[in-house]
Amino acid sequence: MQKFFLGVDIGSLYTKLVVINSNCVIVHSDIFKTMARNNKRDDVIDQVINQFKVDYTCSTGYGRKLLKAADLIKTELYCASAGVTQLNPIDKTIIDIGGEDIKLLKSDKNGKVVDFYMNSKCAAGTGAFITEVAERAELDVLDMSRLAAKSTSDKELNSFCTVFAKTEIMKWIFDDTSDEDLAKGIYISIANRIQKIPTDNSLPVYLIGGVAQYHPYLQNIIGEKFNVRVTIPEKPQLINAFGAACIAQKSFVNHLNPEP
């Protein structure tokens, strides 16, 4: 009988879930708003567990400890490492840009987290930063990558503070900066933020998370800044949930066959 494993990533803005089979192939996925007061989250998850007769569940993300159905709980960093390693079992750097944080980790070919960094003082350079600044610039966030690709500007926002960055972008608008240059400037400021974090430039970079999903032009900017090959895997927003499902699958096997 086929076995199924569930990974649930309860993020600050969205909850992502992935069901895989014993071969780590995705058979189902879903994304919906997390909203703490939204009962839909538990209902949807229960429905999926029943539908697939899920054997083992791993939860991750900010709300990882909320999921009653979880058999195990892992941090997003470990799930990111497990997910990307399942797709590409090599030494690598993973940059996960989420709604309210940036996580950067060095992961080995076996999925071990060798080193990691995470912002904890300020949310500059995260999804929330893009949304706030783009709103002030009157840009459609989903159109920013297309616009930025047309820009030849290298103008960048100096401020790391989201509020001050909004003030700065107003000055750009007063100076008649084009939408294309505004979009690229916002992306450059995110890349600058990431560039401060120590990284091993000999390793390929995998860009994951919701921001990578909706802002693929970041791949170009980060590639240029770091002088490395940057890959955005298919469905980057689901990688952590996928990694959680992979961990559930491996843990289930270990659970059935404990070491003597």
Partner 1 sequence: MYEIAASALLKEVMNNYFQDLKTRSKPLAWCTSVGPAELLRSFGFDVYFPENHGALLGATRKAMDYIPVASKIGYPSDICSYLTSDIGSHIQKSTPLTKHYGLDAQPIPDLIVYNTNQCREVQDWFSYFANQYKCPILGIVPPRHMDEVKQADIDNVSSQFKSLIPECERVSGNKFDIDQFRETLRLSKEATLLWKKTLETSIQTPAPISFFDATIHMGPIVVLRGTETAKAYYKVLSDELELNVKNKVGFLPKETSRIYWEGMPIWGRLRFLSDLFAQHHSAVVASTYCNSWIFDDFDERTPFESSALAYTKIFINRSERAKLTILKDLINDFRITGVIFHEAKTCFNNSNSRFGMPAKLKEETGVETLIIEGDLCDLRFFSEEQSTIKIETLLEQISS
Between 69 and 113, CB nearer to partner 1: 113
Helix, strand, coil percent values for the chain (each to nearest 5): 45, 20, 35
State phi, psi for 18 to the nearest 5 degrees: -135, 135
State phi, psi for 121 to the nearest 5 degrees: -105, -25
| Closest distance of CB 25 from partner 1, Å | 24
| Closest distance of CB 97 from partner 1, Å | 15
Binding mask 186-215 for partner 1 (x = CB under 8 A): ------------x-----------------
Q: Which stretch binds partner 1 (CB under 8 A): 32-40, 89-97, 119-127, 140-148?
A: 119-127
Q: Does 251 bind partner 1 (CB under 8 A)?
A: no
The token pair at 105 is 């980790």
Residue tagged 């879930």 (tokens): 17
179-195 vs 127-136: helix crossing angle, rounded to 10: 150
Q: Which of residues 57-76 bind partner 1 (CB under 8 A)?
A: 62, 74-76
Between 100 and 156, CB nearer to partner 1: 100
Q: Is 157 helix (H, G, I), strand (E, B) or coil?
A: coil
Size of the site for partner 1 (CB under 8 A): 15
The token pair at 113 is 């987290």
Binding site for partner 1 (CB under 8 A): 62, 74-78, 101, 112-113, 116, 118-121, 198
